[in-house]
Structure 1
């Protein structure tokens, strides 16, 4: 089905790994310290955005005077302690396994590299990917194309010959802006 592509790029959270419930629990824990909550629909709309951007939206919603980068660090620290015990691969990992060794593959994620690398390694999946591009590797995050363009570059594949697997609108926009085809995994 993906024969015509020279490279495959996968978003991580919600696409190949079931991290969303853990991320939401970490947000609840951290925001509870400040007597704040997040709106579930607003959080879904921000899927694919870096943690600091989500923190900024929550802070603005609550008219709080917190540093979004500090709040994001707190959330990242909380999620690190939870993720390795709770996250499992999603069914799309079968596509990764089927194409391993046949095409270069990369992960392009809005998560920080420390979390992405730890999760992929812990689950025995890191060896499938020639590159992992995370939020701290690019200046402009999804919906900008930078994450996926860097994935293509690190795989040595022209962007127009790549397909991106995504579960978030920001990621789908980023793939389109990068000149790549995209598969909305929510429709699979």
Structure 2
């Protein structure tokens, strides 16, 4: 894996985590979503198997689809608008209240170590109660005044995490995990400063920047 290198004395004071994929494994969520898509398609008489769902997922990720679920449904339903709309509604009904948060093994200890080093931690998390139930909400700051040039962003998606963070002037680390593990940059503007696949590599990547 590749790690970012600090250009000299560190100026990085904050680490921003996109919770899904880095802190939250998202394994249970992705399994439930894929199952819901297959079930909803089946209700329309469209028989799909796990390999077909996986292929639809990979196509959506490779296409940098802003709505991966919708892209998958469109692929599996052949793009027929009325069918896509019905399947989408059924999937939303099946998963809308689903709470499948899975704290990544080792990530809580890493967050504590980063906090102990004096780094500000921020969570990009619309459902704060999930972090509270996991017992890690207190490690994060809701709002901070650290400018983007002094921030490191950790996320699993190039399109939704890495690219906008780089455009804002942050350093970026891609955590390859789950559905987006095969997503690759298409240009320098989308290329992260570091790429990791587990918590140990993430700590090494952050350390390379802040030390």
TM-score, structure 1 as length reference: 0.66
Tell me if 1:122 matches 2:133.
yes
Mapped partners of 1:156, 1:182: distance in 2:
18
The Cα offsets for residues 117-153 of structure 1, whole Å up to 9 and x where unpaired, read as 232111101111112xxxxxxxxxxxxxxxxxxxxxx
Match of 2:122?
106
Match of 1:184?
174
Task: Give the Å deviation of 1:44.
Answer: 4.6
Mapped partners of 1:41, 1:155: distance in 2:
36
Tell me if 1:73 matches 2:63.
no
1:165 pairs, out of 129, 140, 154, with: 154
Aligned pairs, number: 153
Match of 1:8?
15
Match of 1:136?
none
Match of 2:189?
none
Mapped partners of 1:59, 1:26: distance in 2:
15
The equivalences for 1:122-141 within 5 A come to 122-131=133-142
- Structure 1's 106 and 177: CA in aligned 2 closer, same or farther, altered over 3 A? same
Match of 1:17?
24
Tell me if 1:96 matches 2:111.
yes
Q: For structure 2, which runs of at least 5 residues remain unmatched after alignment?
A: 177-195, 202-211
The equivalences for 1:147-166 within 5 A come to 154-166=143-155
Match of 1:56?
70
Match of 1:135?
none
Mapped partners of 1:130, 1:34: distance in 2:
41
Aligned residue for 2:129, secondary structure, equals helix
Aligned-residue RMSD, C-alpha:
3.1
Mapped partners of 1:71, 1:108: distance in 2:
28
Q: For structure 1, which runs of at least 5 residues remain unmatched after alignment?
A: 132-153
Aligned residue for 1:165, secondary structure, equals strand
After the TM superposition, which parts of structure 1 deviate over 6 Å for at least 4 consecutive aligned residues? none
8 Å CA contact retained: 2:21, 2:175: no
Task: Give the Å deviation of 1:168.
Answer: 2.0
The Cα offsets for residues 78-135 of structure 1, whole Å up to 9 and x where unpaired, read as 532xx15xx13243443321122612211125xxx23xx232111101111112xxxx
Task: Give the Å deviation of 1:15.
Answer: 0.7
8 Å CA contact retained: 1:105, 1:129: yes
Mapped partners of 1:77, 1:46: distance in 2:
25
Mapped partners of 2:170, 2:86: distance in 1:
35
